[in-house]
Chains A and B, each alone.
Chain A
Amino acid sequence: KNQVEQSPQSLIILEGKNCTLQCNYTVSPFSNLRWYKQDTGRGPVSLTIMTFSENTKSNGRYTATLDADTKQSSLHITASQLSDSASYICVVSSAPGDYKLSFGAGTTVTVRA
């Protein structure tokens, strides 16, 4: 069964600090990996999409990395802001054009002033 595991489940950081979220997956075959940000009470919004040939992808202060060999990804948030408080969801697609996605349960990030 395709699975996506995220860690930690939640974390609290001070404003201005950095943090890194982890994602391990067993989805096979692999097409692409996405990170979504979900604010409380809203739908997920895409941050990055990476194929197996892409090792890193940035979107502003968000940087995602991918190691397709070890089936691991990370999302690094630099110089956190209060608006970064949200759930971050790792999502894996198992084949090109496959719109059926495997979702992780998410990591809840709380940024405190």
Chain B
Amino acid sequence: DAGITQSPRYKITETGRQVTLMCHQTWSHSYMFWYRQDLGHGLRLIYYSAAADITDKGEVPDGYVVSRSKTENFPLTLESATRSQTSVYFCASSEPTGGRYEQYFGPGTRLTVT
């Protein structure tokens, strides 16, 4: 199906483990984003990518690594998970149209670090 998907939808891991969250979009959008959403906070940008092989830090990048070898995929890796990284993670994609960057969000991944 067309759209933006995330996997897994739910993940429980232990402190210190490496975890990779996957994001895939079928629109060939050039921009992709990773956000985290915590109770009482607005979504916060972790990393974004303007195109394949081009990534940049957002507001809260520490402890995360991204790559983008293909336009459609944008995985997010937690190198050594910590309890503070327990959150809901959203991937989004966007393509500039008329100067407006409408962002389309995936369904989210709920990550619990124990």
Contact = CB atoms under 8 A, between A and B. Distances in A.
B43 A42 contact: no
Main secondary structure of the interface of A (DSSP, over half): loop
Contact of B42 (A43, A98, A100, A103): A103
Interface string A75-113: 000000000000001000100111111111110000000
Contacts, number: 49
B58 A100 contact: yes
B25 to A, nearest CB: 12
A69 B59 CA distance: 27
A97 B30 CA distance: 13
A101 B41 CA distance: 14
A104 B108 CA distance: 18
A42 B4 CA distance: 12
Nearest to B100: A49
A97 B99 contact: yes
B13 to A, nearest CB: 20
A43 B92 contact: yes
Interface in B44-96: 44-45, 48, 58, 90, 92, 94, 96
